[in-house]
Copies of this chain bind each other. A is one copy, B any other.
């Protein structure tokens, strides 16, 4: 790693891309540990995550810590040249916590308690859990903060993956405290939630509860604030640990493994609290389009901290165990998808897990070291090959992905959009974002994600799919962006409510009406299977819309396309006012692709070089070097013109100015 461009990962201590996996030695006899270190060296591993589920071993009874075994593990790893991201071990409390403190168990909206026996059985707001967790973290930090193997902290694990919310009485009290802090007065809460609707007005704070199972829709404001509270409650679990760690081991970075566009946690706020982002990536090999979803998730993770390099903390070498049918990665797929993470900003990749478990719920999750003989394991062969390759890619470390297009995503708007009792319950944000992302990906364009209210001036093109909730600051930023020459595309059902899920009166979408030059008179959701044709100018029907339509009035906007049929025949479907486009329906794939091509053309946005559909091309750059990643997800050998002077780091050497991508193949090229 060059000194002038330190990776935020691991405090800049490591010279190579990170490679390794979760290591759970407590599942194995000590004699296996030594063999593990030998095999890690053989595989090119340089980093392992240790102790993620070790709480019950580290603190077998409350307040009694047993560190001896972990001392030996860390010393052994250090002796073998491994670095360690040490877990805070708080991902799953030992059974004694549930037994001694049953009120620490989470509860669902219908009152169902979630018991010990699996993992993550804690109420995020539980003081019992939090106090015990912090005590353990402090003990770990004091004992291992200066262990030479330890280079980072891995706090918790996949926060909220099973229990993102809890409706118990402990949570209810915490929710009320959170609401007091937000609203100060009960009158303000009543106003913000609109409790005059349906006789919901509160007269006493104690009457307020989480949105438990109710006769019908609970108050939307209550539901929305509960989503906010749940994200915050888990985040407090993280920051409580992080604060201890920063205090006791200020030089060690703290991360946790995020899960891409995870609905329940506002990762924009979470990322602020991390020293670097980590990510777990599990696209389904049975789905031929899943690699594009994976790219999108990785672009999001990178964007969460402004483009900083991040770490692929978990992927599987082969299969997972939690789908109905766990199809395995085909040969070369694990390698290609690993390079995809690097291409999109990762400075390393780890696997879940190092050695496949003999027992427990994940024993059929593939691992770097399989159950059977290594000498006849293609998984092991692939793991070693990748480890070997990555050791030669130091040049990648710390470079940053180039992107001039962005998609705006906002968690509270997402939550509000998908609350029930909408014009259409089938408007799902990830589907809408996915539509736009796939079209941009198909155009070869690398995309950042941006948050609501962010400065957009570094982008030429910004897409805003279904931003149902728009606060003043966001509208202003969008206006400034367009005024500054930016090209903006806004999807339907945007700008409808304020931060309390209350309608912006004055004609939809009130805060964006001036910017977009339209007024939406009313919504016309389409029935299941219903489609409506669209016509550009006087042309024939050239695209179709589904899911949604609207009665749009052009108030200053140009009408680019009109509805061709039905009640809306002749009315505007797609409009443009200066650089601000509005799309009032869900376009079919071809229609959206045409739209995106036009947007890119106007904005001057394009990919690093022309590539066929199933090839990804992404450039990372920095400090005078540009590194091109080419990934061939298709089954055909594909030539790609990469220009003069390219240095092939990975892949078939260039024939003059052209490189040949094998079917499923990868190339990494230093352009300058």
Contacts and interface: CB of A to CB of B under 8 A. Distances in A.
A27 B197 contact: yes
B202 A95 contact: yes
B117 A421 contact: no
Pick the most buried of A198, A199, A567: most chain B CB atoms within 10 A of its CB.
A199
Interface string A386-425: 0000000000000000000000000000000000111111
B358 A194 contact: yes
Given A325-B528, A507-B373, A553-B376, A421 B362 contact: yes
Nearest to A504: B371
Contacts of A220: 359-361, 363
Interface residues of A, number: 122
A220 B425 CA distance: 37
A53 interface: yes
Pick the most buried of A121, A358, A370: most chain B CB atoms within 10 A of its CB.
A358
A627 B217 CA distance: 43
Contacts of A378: 521-522, 551
A26 interface: yes
B505 A371 contact: yes
Given A196-B26, A326-B423, A553-B376, A115 B209 contact: yes
Interface stretch (A86-94, A251-259, A556-564): A86-94
A525 B329 CA distance: 11
Given A162-B216, A372-B508, A423-B364, A197 B106 contact: no
Contacts of A24: 196-197
A318 interface: yes
Interface string A130-147: 000000000000000000
A327 B527 contact: yes
A436 interface: no
Contact of A377 (B208, B371, B424, B521): B521
A233 B96 CA distance: 26
Nearest to A91: B199
A116 interface: yes
Contacts of A371: 503, 505, 507-508
A325 B425 contact: yes
Given A204-B99, A358-B502, A115 B60 contact: no
Contacts of A377: 521-522
Contacts of A208: 95
A424 B325 contact: yes
A519 B26 CA distance: 28
A366 B422 CA distance: 11
A357 B84 CA distance: 56
Contacts of A114: 213-215
Nearest to A218: B117
A133 to B, nearest CB: 12
A214 B521 contact: no
Interface string A42-74: 000000000001111100110000000000000
Given A163-B215, A211-B117, A326-B525, A362 B197 contact: yes
Interface string A495-512: 000001111011110000
A420 to B, nearest CB: 8
A425 B118 CA distance: 18
Contacts of A91: 199
Given A218-B118, A423-B364, A528-B325, A330 B372 contact: no
A201 interface: yes
Pick the most buried of A116, A208, A501: most chain B CB atoms within 10 A of its CB.
A116
B522 A318 contact: yes
Contacts of A357: 194, 197, 503
Contacts of A204: 96, 99
A222 interface: yes
A184 interface: no
Contact of A110 (B112, B214, B372, B420): B112
A424 B199 contact: no
Contact of A325 (B99, B199, B426): B426
A111 interface: yes
A214 B324 contact: no
A221 interface: yes
B197 A117 contact: no
A424 B57 CA distance: 31
Nearest to A117: B218
A370 B53 CA distance: 55
A113 interface: yes
A193 interface: yes
A202 B222 CA distance: 39
Contacts of A195: 56
A361 B198 contact: yes
A319 B520 CA distance: 15
B216 A96 contact: no
B426 A118 contact: no
B203 A60 contact: yes
A101 to B, nearest CB: 12
Contact of A201 (B95, B193, B221, B525): B95
B201 A56 contact: yes
The 4 tightest CB contacts between A and B, nearest first, are: A194-B359, A197-B360, A162-B215, A118-B214
6 contacts: A95-B201, A111-B112, A117-B200, A194-B358, A364-B423, A372-B508
Interface of A: 24, 26-27, 53-57, 60-61, 89, 91-96, 98-99, 106, 110-121, 162-163, 193-204, 206-209, 211-222, 286, 318-319, 321-328, 330-331, 356-364, 366, 370-373, 376-379, 420-426, 500-503, 505-508, 519-528, 530, 551, 553, 567
